């Protein structure tokens, strides 16, 4: 089963789409597959989209793990073919890896401690 949801909205109010192998991913280990942080590097966007279309539904059989895919985090940059978002911010710089959290307007995804 494939669950699509809107993770948040870009500076230009474009939906940031995400997909999950489970309908709820709270209190479960999360495997995050993220593309399009630097939106001019389109290979990652295509890779995540292919994974969503061909492989993600297989992971619904694993109830103790949630796979979350965000094909394009920087949708504004993707539409403009540039690395930064519409405010000129490199999204790599908003991560707080010591906290392990991806926080957007509608979801707060705890990723665990990242190294």
The vertex-40 CA angle with 91 and 107, nearest 5°, equals 35
Higher pLDDT, 99 or 22: 22
- Sorted by where each starts, the structural domains of the chain and their CATH numbers stand as 3-110 (3.40.630.10)
Q: What is the pLDDT of residue 80?
A: 94
Q: Which two tokens stand for residue 78?
A: 């993707």
How many Å apart are CA 67 and CA 89, to the nearest integer?
Answer: 27
Which residues are registered as beta bridge partners of 97? none
pLDDT tens digit sequence for 77-106: 999 999 998 988 888 777 654 444 555 444
Query: For the CA atoms of 19, 23, 28, 31, what is the dihedral angle to 10 degrees?
Result: -20
Per 3-state DSSP, the chain is made up of helix, strand and coil in percentages (nearest 5) of 25, 25, 50
pTM of the model: 0.80
Q: Which of 5, 9, 26 lies closest to 110, judged by CA? A: 26
Higher pLDDT, 51 or 109: 51
């Amino acid at each position: 089963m494939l669950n699509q949801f809107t993770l948040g909205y870009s500076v230009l109010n474009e939906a940031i789409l995400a997909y999950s192998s489970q309908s709820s991913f709270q209190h479960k280990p999360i495997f995050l597959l993220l593309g399009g942080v630097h939106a001019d590097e389109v290979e990652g966007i295509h890779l995540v989209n292919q994974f969503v279309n061909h492989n993600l539904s297989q992971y619904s059989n694993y109830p103790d793990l949630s796979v979350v895919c965000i094909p394009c985090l920087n949708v504004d940059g993707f539409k403009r073919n540039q690395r930064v978002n519409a405010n000129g911010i490199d999204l790599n710089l908003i991560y707080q890896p010591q906290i392990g959290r991806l926080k957007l307007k509608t979801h707060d995804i705890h990723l665990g401690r990242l190294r």
